[in-house]
A and B are shown apart, each in its own frame.
Chain A
Amino acid sequence: DTAVSQTPKYLVTQMGNDKSIKCEQNLGHDTMYWYKQDSKKFLKIMFSYNNKELIINETVPNRFSPKSPDKAHLNLHINSLELGDSAVYFCASSDGTGSYNEQFFGPGTRLTVL
């Protein structure tokens, strides 16, 4: 059983398009995250939700909009895609919001904007 799953695994699209990435966790965790990993492997947190409520919203363009329909799902919608959005996006979950909690990562979605 996959603990944290993401779809799609690869996403190739044209500049200006709108796309979504879906994430689901079956660990019963109440906290979920979106991270962006650039080509230099720098991993940056974008958003965090706890029990469907947004608790972390780093400096991210408002073209990025997360949505959490329930605590097992956290989707990421991106409007008007730009070349600089090309990266690997990781979803993660943890049991609680404290920094002593281990985060479980999904396999990543490689987004390529042409």
Chain B
Amino acid sequence: SQQGEEDPQALSIQEGENATMNCSYKTSINNLQWYRQNSGRGLVHLILIRSNEREKHSGRLRVTLDTSKKSSSLLITASRAADTASYFCATDPTGNQFYFGTGTSLTVIP
């Protein structure tokens, strides 16, 4: 299949800790995006990283991309209860559409 696969499937941490989730994919990509989905809501875009970039930051988010390993990671620093959500990576093997995985379900315990 062409979708990214997130790991772990579920993650539970204490507020203030860092959360790291990973995404692996199978074919070459042009871009990779990370999205967040709160329970019962639509997805919200977090960050895009291009294939020629290795790292990007946005606030408390840090995304890395290793195209040789076909993997990306999303780090959320100093987590908050409001970060509780599912996180999806989206990869674009064809260049004009994204394929999503099943996400990592993050629970931040206050």
Contact = CB atoms under 8 A, between A and B. Distances in A.
B42 A99 contact: no
Interface stretch (A64-72, A79-87, A105-113): A105-113
Interface residues of B, number: 27
Nearest to B104: A41
A98 B86 CA distance: 24
A107 B41 contact: yes
Interface residues of A, number: 24
Interface in B60-110: 86, 88, 92, 95-103, 105
A107 B43 CA distance: 8
A54 to B, nearest CB: 13
A105 B33 CA distance: 14
Interface of B: 3, 30-31, 33, 35, 37, 40-45, 48, 50, 86, 88, 92, 95-103, 105
